[in-house]
Amino acid sequence: MRTLTYSEAINEALREEMARDPSVFIMGEDVGVMGGVFGVTQGLIQQFGEERVRDTPISETGIVGAALGAAMMGMRPVVEIMFGDFLGCAGDQIINQVAKARYMSGGKARVPLTIRVTTGAPGAAAAQHSQSPESWFMNIPGIKIVAPATPADAKGLLKSAIRGEDPVLFFEHKMLYAMKGEIPEGDYVIEFGKANVLREGRDVTIIAIGGMVQHALAAADELAKGLDAVSCEVIDPRTLVPLDVPALVASVKKTGRALIAHEAHKRGGPGAEIAAVLAEQALDYLDAPIQRVAAKNVPLPYAPALEQFVLPGKDDIVAAVKEVLR
């Protein structure tokens, strides 16, 4: 095992896949000479050249549209959308073209396209650079949605995305880039649709997504202390589409209680879909209503104090667990 940051793990996955397959290339705003606005693609242009690491104009529609055409012609593009908020600029390309090309061609047009997107609030970046838009696309069939929470998962899931035959939205939380973690040696991939049970428990299931995973683990540690110790099971779905429903249902069946934590807004967020699935398939096992911990339903403020008030964190999870146990 080796220790890498989340950012380094993504860079290594890109480097390995580009070396393994000449059809893999990168394009996006400032991904080449600058090495990415968050430094994730540093050094790749020096190794693979400008043909395979392409800086683009500031046009999300153009970036995704060009990548779609390249994918349909046999390439494996990996594009970077600098901020998830800007996915709206490429909405028509993603929703009406990328997601549907394979289906509308009767399977003749493959779309092995990976769209890397930053997500979440990095701190005082205000309403247009702090959103978590994962759920915007959960309603669109034809797209896989990935939200890795650790360096090892970021590398293994990205390699699976690049090698797959379907379009993938790959959400990278900005506040995880500096996070360090152990990475397996050698070439490895992580299968989509396989949740990761990070902590076994018996009293309540916490389903945490992306940047909320570390908050959930910290909350579980705090709740385990004291005379009224609570045993929390913490599960990271890893992928929102496909979703590992059997693993989530099995956990709820064991604990009898469920809490879903994500940084996206509560109304219509990923937790709404997960809660609906659990209500359909695990209602008989639930001893209390499903709880959701999420951002308040307002645009993300610029002021740090207000931002922290809107965003969910460890203390919110602790309070929600106590509520679901009442």
Domain boundaries, the chain: 2-183, 196-325
CA distance 3 to 8: 10
**Strands 144-146 vs 239-241: parallel, antiparallel or unpaired:** antiparallel
The pLDDT > 70 percentage for the chain reads 100
113 in Cβ contact with 169 (< 8 Å): no
Closest CA to 55 of 85, 25, 76: 25
Is residue 9 a contact partner of residue 151, using CB atoms and an 8 Å limit?
Answer: yes
Q: pLDDT tens digit string along 32-86?
A: 999 999 999 999 999 999 999 999 999 999 999 999 999 999 999 999 999 999 9
The architecture (CATH level 2) of 2-183 comes to: 3-Layer(aba) Sandwich (3.40)
What does the pLDDT read at residue 228?
84
Same fold flag, 2-183 and 196-325: yes
**Whether pLDDT at 227 is above 80:** no
Which of 183, 16, 29 has the alpha carbon at shortest distance from 118?
Answer: 29
Domain 196-325 CATH assignment equals 2.40.50.140: no
Q: What is the pLDDT of residue 160?
A: 98
| pLDDT tens for each residue of 139-197 | 999 999 999 999 999 999 999 999 999 999 999 999 999 999 999 999 999 999 999 99
Q: What is the reported pLDDT for 116? A: 98
Distance CA 127, CA 130 (A): 6
Three-state SS at 298: coil
pLDDT(17) > 80? yes
Average pLDDT over residues 196-222: 98
Catalytic positions are 129
Q: Over the chain, what is the mean pLDDT?
A: 97
- pLDDT at res. 226: 75
Q: Sort residue 292 into left (φ over 0), alpha (ψ -120 to 50) or beta.
A: beta
Is the pTM higher than 0.85?
A: yes
Tens digits of residue pLDDT in 216-226: 999 999 999 97
The span from the CA of 177 to the CA of 179, in Å, is: 6
Q: Is the pLDDT of residue 284 over 90?
A: yes
Q: Which of 170, 217, 153, 146 is nearest to 4 (CA)?
A: 153
Confidence band, pLDDT 50/70/90 cuts, at residue 326? confident
pLDDT cut 90: percent of the chain above it: 98
